[in-house]
Amino acid sequence: MPIATTNPATGQVLKTYDAMPDEEIDAAIERADLAYRQLRGTTVDQRGRWLTAAADLLEADRDATARLMTTEMGKTYAAAKAEVTKCATACRFYAANAAAFLADEPADAPAVKATRAFVRYQPIGPVLAVMPWNFPLWQVLRFAAPALMAGNTGLLKHASNVPQTALLLEDLFRRAGFPEGAFTTLLVGSDAVDRILSDPRVRAATLTGSERAGRSIAQIAGRELKKTVLELGGSDPFVVMPSADLDRAAEVATTARCQNNGQSCIAAKRFIVHTDVFDAFAERFAANMSALRVGDPMNDDTDVGPLASEGGRDEIHAQVRDAVDRGATVLCGGEPPAGPGWYYPPTVVTDLTPQMRMWGEEVFGPVAGLYRVSSYDEAIEVANGTNFGLGSNAWTRDPDEQERFATDLDAGNVFVNGMTTSFPELPFGGVKNSGYGRELSALGMREFCNTKTVWVGEGAASAGAGAHAE
């Protein structure tokens, strides 16, 4: 895939880049390793000042950065501005909380026959980040902010269709004051990932992307014995029970499906509705989806912009056509508009069966699958009946059902009466084919730390009877 900025609203190629040659990749890895040796010797307070400066720069440059993201991948300008603000918030969160997250944790010294015992969190070195185009700033910042605060350095291999955003990120951390090489963008194709991750100076990798990409990274890292965190696809359920506030559920469902033009791993994709309220919800939901305005993502009144690529639009249309050909019913949408740009209308499809692609595949665009169920148990069966387990939503005012959903939904995130989203304060990640490991919160920061056990005994005292290794 070429490394290029192509405006998805017009299909016009605006700027192209050559892939970095091997010698430039080696030089970038060397700079990252040298920067790590410098960064790990700085204080948390100093790193916090740099990260706060990055937040200041993000806020000052918000509008220009948002326009760039909209140009490169088609999200609405309003959504892009909100993404920049969210990134600044995350930077401030880690600048304020890193000291507590990295503080030594005392253990029960007498229980382990020590005078002192504790856990210490220390950085591990350069980390390769392979990142997607759909949230081109946020996906990177939610890795970079905690990683840099921990004292690691970052090597970014961004998606090939957002090269200017990728270069902006490198420049951001340089302008904020971080040492040269602390965060470096590598303009390379996916064929260079094996070489980069195999380099002994690169100590770990994180990836947000497809199952296929996750398996590839995991295979390389397994061979090299390196830590990975993977956030992969999702086909999130949105369950609506009889006690739910239907107006509010249908309103949030519309946003949950069409946020970011429907291109989010944690967007609700499968709407599982109890038969007692199915017709009422379906009517509200289809009406809301039909009312969304599709158009130029730079316009203030646009709700849904283009998909990021022509191939992405063709793929979701093929999934819809497969369902229709096998007997599904389209309540709204379902046909791409004529004209330039890679647009697709908000679409609701019902009467789905397991033989249809939409039943088991992730649909990465503004297309909702609507499922009718007759009981709580059937809702759980359908919700958990995929290989994915990233986010999930449940709508019920019944306290017992709320508690059961929190336990029974097989996902890394359960949101009750609200839309799945990510917060710096909460861990984020999935189970099953949605990946492993966690981003955000203290857990995300510690994923790329050496969790070191420290045991201190009395000078020359013996270990004591019965002591044994391991």
Tell me which residues are annotated as active site.
Answer: 231, 265
Q: Which of 388, 437, 442, 444 is nearest to 411 (CA)?
A: 388
Pairing relationship of beta strands 12-17 and 3-7 according to DSSP bridges? antiparallel
Q: Which residues of 418-451 are buried (b: 16+ CB within 10 A; e: fewer)?
A: ebbebebeebbbbebbbbbbbbbbbbbbbbbbee
Which CA distances in Å does 229 have to 205, 214, 429?
A: 7, 9, 9
The contacts of residue 377 (CB under 8 Å, 6+ apart) are: none
Task: Render 128-185 in DSSP notation, one character per residue.
Answer: EEE--SSSTTHHHHHHHHHHHHHT-EEEEE--TT-HHHHHHHHHHHHHHTPPTTSEEE
50 SS3 class: helix
Distance CA 233, CA 54 (A): 29
Q: Is-contact 178 153, C-beta < 8 A?
A: no
**Distance (Å, rounded) from C-alpha 304 to C-alpha 9?**
11
> 341 near 306, Cβ under 8 Å?
yes
Axis crossing angle, helix 62-73 with helix 163-176, rounded to the nearest 10: 160
Only one residue has tokens 């220390």, namely 122
Nearest to 253 by CA among 295, 291, 293, 284: 284
Structure tokens at 31: 């700079």
Half-sphere exposure of 393 (CA within 13 A, CB side): 30
DSSP-derived letter for residue 406 is H
